[in-house]
Amino acid sequence: MTFVQLIDCRTSRLDEMNRLMDDWVQQTKGTRTATHAVVGTDRSDASHVVEVVEFPSYEEAMRNSNLPETDRIFRGLLALCDGMPTFTDLDVVRDERLSEHVVRGFFEALGTAGELPPLNDLLDEDIHSHDPMTPQDTIGLDHVRAEFRMWRAAFDFAFTVEDVFAQGDRACARWSWKAAHKDDFLGIPPTGRRVTMTGMTMFRFGADGKIAELWWQHDQLGLMQQLGALDELER
């Protein structure tokens, strides 16, 4: 179970504290077990500082605490704080990366049977989509929807999202795609063939949490080969 430690203190020497934490990161490289750390200051009281440190488990956190470098940094921290810092140990019982839900919902919506959903709950009105299969970027929700409809008219398909990684306002998804070619696609008449494709999509999210930009990378050469578009060139 993921474990989080909250360190709450007061200090008028935040710059020195940041340098101290940089020293700890450098000194514990290869030995520390902490996976993520966030430091914040109280908007109503800049001397009130809270650090959130994440570990894979409580046991890993205790192993990290027993490092000699951690003990030295703790003594340095005490010297910089106005009073004794407090520590709160938390077992994480719920951990939701909201952008991951948006990414998975986006791919599910693209493969929805029937009419394409409006997507305005997922995509920004001024969305930019970058796809190597189109010579120019697709800009605006209406144009992006038209591009998706072109794919849906040519194929019956579904995505399988293999992995999603999210950080800040960005996320990246690795996916696989299975489809049946049912109508004209880039001048290729319907073949009825079952085709597959793999790819990755990078997402940028706007301030409202909607997808503001897309970057697509996929095996377009493999897709065209499966559709027989390269048969003449291979002879």
Q: What is the pLDDT of residues 126-156, one digit of tens each?
A: 999 999 988 899 999 999 999 999 999 999 9
Q: What's the pLDDT at 68?
A: 87
Q: How big is the chain by its Cα radius of gyration, in Å?
A: 25
Task: Among 31, 63, 91, identify where a domain stops.
Answer: 91
As for how many domains the chain has, the answer is 2
Q: What's the pLDDT at 137?
A: 95
Mean pLDDT of the chain: 92
Q: Which has the higher per-residue pLDDT, 68 or 198? A: 198
**11 and 122 fall within a common domain:** no
**146 and 78 fall within a common domain:** no
pTM for the model = 0.73
**13 and 30 fall within a common domain:** yes
Give per-residue pLDDT as tens, 74-129. Answer: 888 899 999 999 999 999 998 777 899 999 999 999 999 999 999 999 999 999 99
Average confidence (pLDDT) over 44-62: 92
**8 and 62 fall within a common domain:** yes
**28 and 125 fall within a common domain:** no
User: Can you name the residues that pair with 203 across neighbouring β-strands?
Assistant: 171, 214
Q: How far apart are CA 26 and CA 30, in angstroms?
A: 9
The position carrying tokens 């009130």 is 48
Average confidence (pLDDT) over 1-24: 90
**150 and 194 fall within a common domain:** yes
Q: How far apart are CA 6 and CA 26, in angstroms?
A: 21
CATH of the domain at 74: 3.30.70.100
- pLDDT for 16 beyond 80: yes
Return the half-sphere exposure (C-beta side, CA atoms, 13 A cut-off) of residue 143: 12
**197 and 105 fall within a common domain:** yes
**140 and 166 fall within a common domain:** yes
Q: How far apart are CA 170 and CA 191, in angstroms?
A: 37
Tell me if 141 sits within 8 A of 125, measured CB to CB: yes
**29 and 109 fall within a common domain:** no
Q: Tell me the percentage of the chain whose pLDDT exceeds 70.
A: 97
**64 and 154 fall within a common domain:** no
Q: How far apart are CA 209 and CA 88, in angstroms?
A: 30
Residues 6+ apart with CB under 8 A from 96: none
- Give the domain extent around 185: 98-234
Q: What's the pLDDT at 163?
A: 96
CATH of the domain at 146: 3.10.450.50
Q: How far apart are CA 214 and CA 105, in angstroms?
A: 15
Q: What's the pLDDT at 232?
A: 54
**139 and 229 fall within a common domain:** yes
Average confidence (pLDDT) over 208-224: 95
